[in-house]
């Protein structure tokens, strides 16, 4: 039997505890899971790609079957290069479903050998998104418990740096 390799793709700007929860679940299900950070030159992210990779590596240091990588271009081409047969995506609420279904079916059309597997995060994370986390921190709120401690600290530093620049 060959190893089942899964890709968990995303922007991860930044990694939240919802992502961490899905990766943990995926690591139990698949032989290897690769966290694949999208290199997207069109978006203006808060964290650079190397920062996002560092965050994920820190969060999963010592996890033998969890890797962190970057990709650009089509996800299914990346999956093929990595010999992955599964794409993992988290589904929080019905509102996620429409876009996720479109992506899953488009990816299936592009490469029928790769199956998308949807996983639900633990209940406390069903409303957590990277976008909301950034907004709350920018407006002075706490995201303690919703992101790894290292992300909380990095968000604080980014906010301080921005405030210093503006002063």
- Positions touching ligand PNS (CB under 6 A) are 9-11, 38, 74-75, 103, 106-107
Of 79 and 137, the one with the shorter C-beta distance to ligand PNS is 79
Q: Which one, of 157, 132, 47, lies nearest residue 165 by Cα?
A: 157
Of 74 and 161, the one with the shorter C-beta distance to ligand PNS is 74
Task: State yes or no: cis peptide before 14, omega within 30 of 0.
Answer: yes
Torsion of CA 163, 164, 166, 167, to 10 degrees: 110
User: Could you tell me the smallest distance in angstroms from the CB atom of residue 163 to ligand PNS?
Assistant: 27
User: Could you tell me the smallest distance in angstroms from the CB atom of residue 90 to ligand PNS?
Assistant: 9
User: Could you tell me the smallest distance in angstroms from the CB atom of residue 23 to ligand PNS?
Assistant: 13
Residue nearest to ligand PNS (CB): 10
Of 108 and 159, the one with the shorter C-beta distance to ligand PNS is 108
Of 10 and 14, the one with the shorter C-beta distance to ligand PNS is 10
User: Could you tell me the smallest distance in angstroms from the CB atom of residue 5 to ligand PNS?
Assistant: 17
Name the residues annotated as catalytic: 19, 43, 92, 130
d(CA 21, CA 47): 21
């Amino acid at each position: 039997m060959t190893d089942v390799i899964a890709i968990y793709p995303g922007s991860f700007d930044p990694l939240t505890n919802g992502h961490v929860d899905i990766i943990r679940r995926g690591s139990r299900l698949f032989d290897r899971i690769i966290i694949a950070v999208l290199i997207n030159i069109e978006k203006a992210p808060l964290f650079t790609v190397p920062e996002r990779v560092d965050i994920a590596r820190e969060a999963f240091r010592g996890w033998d079957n969890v890797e962190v990588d970057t990709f650009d271009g089509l996800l299914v081409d990346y999956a093929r290069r990595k010999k992955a047969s599964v794409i993992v995506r988290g589904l929080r609420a019905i509102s996620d479903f429409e876009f996720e279904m479109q992506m899953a079916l488009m990816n299936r059309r592009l490469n029928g050998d790769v199956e998308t597997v949807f996983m639900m995060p633990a209940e406390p994370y069903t409303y957590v998104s990277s976008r909301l986390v950034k907004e709350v921190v920018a407006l002075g709120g706490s995201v303690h418990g919703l992101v790894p401690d290292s992300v909380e600290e990095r968000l604080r530093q980014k906010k301080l740096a921005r405030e210093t620049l503006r002063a």
